[in-house]
Amino acid sequence: MKAATKLKTIFGQIPDFRRSHKQLYNLESIFLIGIISVICGANSWNEMENYANSKEEFLRTFLDLPNGIPSHDTFNRVFSNIDSNEFEKYFIQWVSDLAQLQPREIIGIDGKTIKGAKSNGKKSPVHMVSAWANDNNLVLGQVKVTEKSNEITAIPKLLEVLSIKNTIVTIDAMGCQTAIAKAIIKKDADYILDVKDNQSQLLEHIEDEFKFSKNIETHLSQELDHGRIETRKCSVISNLLRIENQHIANKIRIGIHKESILHLRFLARI
């Protein structure tokens, strides 16, 4: 029950909004039952209560339930009134601790639009920014944004609550921003960012490097896949001469990976 104890400790940090004389159940128990029941498939407050009643004997092995199982109204009231940002922060903290990230593990950050989402009966696309731990096959955390363009401001907020020391964070071209790079460095992690037309000057400089540089390292691999031979070519430049800011240029490596389409990426730890 080590994981349950850890979960209780983490969520015990969330301020309790309830009046002390009306607390029949401690907040940690409500959170724990709610999270476990959702993991097991509960989709409503009633299903949370039904799950808890069916597993009461098991839940009592690590929870104090002097007043029995909370009702569906209790689950509704508590989860509807807590600070959602606080809950999200501590939930991500628990998941990150649970994941046991490996050294140099790839953490992929990506934004996706959930199609078909509705609000008040009207179509209202929901955009989610998620961090995926490759070796653990686990989502470490995610943040909802109102517009796809807001991913740029959401990514640093997500990084702030993640424990990603000694990992490699990958983000597509939208994440190629100074503030995001600094946020990753602050977490003692490295990054791989796509460079495309949204950073036109940097893209031009990188393209010039590959046109004129004489210090290009190249790796070629071939494999048989889906009945055809796939050839992958990766070229890397460590000594950059055509980046305007040479202080930064001396500390980054750029690579071009050619498969079906062309990508420009740079890996850095400044």
Q: Quick: pLDDT tens for 5-35.
A: 777 777 778 888 888 776 888 888 898 899 8
Residue 211, number of CB atoms within 10 A of its CB = 8
Cβ proximity of 177 and 254 under 8 Å: no
Burial of 26-40, coded b for 16+ CB within 10 Å and e otherwise, reads bbbbbbbbbbbbeee
pLDDT of residue 126: 65
CA–CA distance, 66 with 45 (Å, rounded to integer): 21
Percent of the chain having pLDDT more than 70? 81
Q: Which residues share a beta bridge with 237?
A: 216, 254
Confidence of residue 49 (pLDDT cuts 50, 70, 90): very high
Average pLDDT of the residues in 168-183:
90
Torsion angle (degrees, nearest 10) of CA 139, 140, 143, 148: -60
Question: Which band of pLDDT confidence, cut at 50, 70 and 90, is reported for residue 240?
Answer: confident
Overall average pLDDT of the 82-88 stretch:
79
The 10s digit of each residue's pLDDT in 93-109 is 777 777 778 889 999 99
The arithmetic mean of pLDDT across residues 131-140, rounded, is 87
Tens digit of each residue's pLDDT (9 = 90 or more) over 194-228:
888 888 888 888 888 888 888 888 888 888 878 88
Q: DSSP secondary-structure letter at 22?
A: G
Confidence (pTM): 0.66
Q: Which of 244, 263, 96 is nearest to 165 (CA)?
A: 96
| Cβ pair 194, 173 in contact under 8 A | yes
262 confidence band (pLDDT: 50, 70, 90): very low
Q: How far is CA 115 from CA 112, 123, 124, 172, in A?
A: 9, 9, 9, 20
